[in-house]
Amino acid sequence: MERTKISELENRISEKVKIAGWINARRDHGKLIFLDLRDSSGKIQMVSLPQKTETHKIADTLRDEWVVEINGIVNKRPEKMINPEEVLGKIELEISEIKVLNEAETPPFEISGDTSNISEETRLKYRYLDLRTDRMQKNMKTRSQFIQNCREYLFNKKFIEIETPILTESTPEGSRDFVVPSRIHPGKFYALPQSPQQYKQLLMVAGFEQYFQIARAVRDEDLRADRGFEHTQIDIEVSFVSQDNFLNLIEGMMTEVVEKMGYKIKEKPFPRISYKEAMEKYGADKFDLRTDKEKEEGILAYAWVVDFPFFEKTADGQWTFSHNPFSMPKPENVPDLLAGKNIENIMTQQYDLVCNGFESGGGSIRAHQPEILKAVYKVMGFNDKETEERIGHLLEAFTYGAPPHGGIALGVERNIMNLTGELNLREVQAFPMTRGGQTAVMKAPKELTKEQLKELKIKIEN
């Protein structure tokens, strides 16, 4: 007999079925044994009757989290046993045969409960068990659904999905790089991508016009509740697009994606607020437009923040970019940028998508002419040679007919946190790191063997 998924049992009343999964709970009621079985689709109550002597004996040995295959008959529950709180609360499975596929140790915490109060160390050490819990299963499914809906929207709009390298050169995204030593070029290092920024711009030069990627981004930043070393972004870039049309496209995507998932949006079209107005009104460029009642109802309040200043001063008085060095100034500010004057008043075609008090995405229309990009680097204090070293490849590419283009990156974790109400990034990643930067389940970072170090020509200083 073929295995049936538990969620399908509703349509199989009075039939013989085979199901398989994990023992989720066990209740002994006198001679009857009640066992809940869980698979990835749901949970079902099963009953073992004492008259089936042999099977009943096996049922008596079963413990939580054992993996079993069960043959039985789907019955309607007696009226007084119906549980409206269970999805399949009107039916149960009468066990006729049990096959134990694997036994299980007693888990270090309860799988049938909510693990938010269990210590992070224990949860991440046994992440594969933590992920079995209802809340974590739901979070991961929400994440998968969100990504699938984004993909569908973008494919419908004729986007193409392209992967960019993981071993790459460091990009000036403003964070510290994670680096990877090269064996065949001793003393030289790759960097893991902080974002696919330059590659996606090169793809525009390459004529793809509408690119996206579900991209991993790695940044060596201080770990916080809403920040890990690794995150995923829906990375998008489009050619021949105005800021207005681009924001409409992304707004269309977010609206379709979250409404399909049953969420409500507070205001459509999303309000557009200038950076200046946001700072005056909310004292920050991220803000929460929801009322307390809307917070309780899980409503999503999106807004665009636009018109950012291009540059800001560093601690030592040097100009640096406020968001993204590859952005295009507002057209009226291009002459000032090229002349290197009036820097504090240069505005950029940069935009952030804010949702429920957090930045859920950010991007810009880019500088596609080499002179403009060079002028940005000049303002930031780089001479021609230094600029060439950093972004010479991009400047060169732009001399071969780079189309005007712009894009965005939407943080997957941040968006899923908004959808699920989770406050910690680790709740929406399958295998996040601990706050101490230790990988879940596995033991990185760890030392290399002497042989590995020798091959890489690396000496460790104590």
Interface contacts to ligand ASP, rule CB under 6 A = 195, 197, 324, 362-364, 407-409
| Between 23 and 353, CB nearer to ligand ASP | 353
- Nearest-approach distance from CB 28 to ligand ASP, in angstroms: 55
What dihedral angle (degrees, nearest 10) is formed by the CA atoms of 111, 112, 118, 124? 30
In terms of CB distance, is 309 or 407 closer to ligand ASP?
A: 407
C-beta separation of 444 from 178 below 8 A? no
Are 237 and 201 within 8 A, CB to CB?
yes
Rounded to a whole number of angstroms, the minimum distance from the CB of residue 219 to ligand ASP is 9
CA distance 199 to 165: 8
**Strand 42-48, strand 91-102: pairing:** parallel
Residue 230 β-bridge partners: 218
Beta carbon nearer to ligand ASP, 133 or 171: 171
- In this complex, which beta carbon is closest to ligand ASP, that of residue 171 or of residue 356? 171
Q: Return d(Cα 60, Cα 35) in angstroms, integer.
A: 10
**Least Å from the CB of residue 407 to ligand ASP:** 4
Please, which residue, 21 or 407, has the CB nearer to ligand ASP?
Answer: 407
Quote the tokens at residue 367.
Answer: 């500088």
Distance of closest approach, residue 419 Cβ to ligand ASP, in angstroms: 20
Cα dihedral 96, 100, 103, 106, rounded to 10, equals: -10
Q: Under 8 Å CB-to-CB from 304, ≥6 apart: which residues?
A: 247, 251, 270, 271, 272, 273, 351, 352, 353, 354
Q: Please give the helix or strand (H or E) that residue 33 lies within, else none.
A: strand 32-39
Q: How far is the CB of 324 from ligand ASP (least distance, A)?
A: 5
| Residue 197: CB minimum distance to ligand ASP, A | 4
Shortest separation between residue 304's beta carbon and ligand ASP, angstroms: 14
Q: Give CA separation, 263 vs 100, 266, 301, 419, in Å.
A: 41, 10, 11, 8
φ, ψ of residue 60 to 5 degrees: the values are: -65, -20
Q: Which of 126, 275 has the CB closer to ligand ASP?
A: 275
Which residue sits closest to ligand ASP, CB atoms considered? 195
How many helices (H) does the chain have, and how many strands (E)? 13, 17
Q: Least distance to ligand ASP from the beta carbon of 231, Å? A: 9
Considering beta carbons, is residue 309 or 362 the nearer one to ligand ASP?
Answer: 362
Query: Of the two residues 45 and 213, which places its CB atom closer to ligand ASP in the complex?
Result: 213
Positive or negative, the CA dihedral 30, 32, 33, 39 is negative
Examine residue 445 and say whether the peptide bond preceding it is cis (omega within 30 degrees of 0): yes
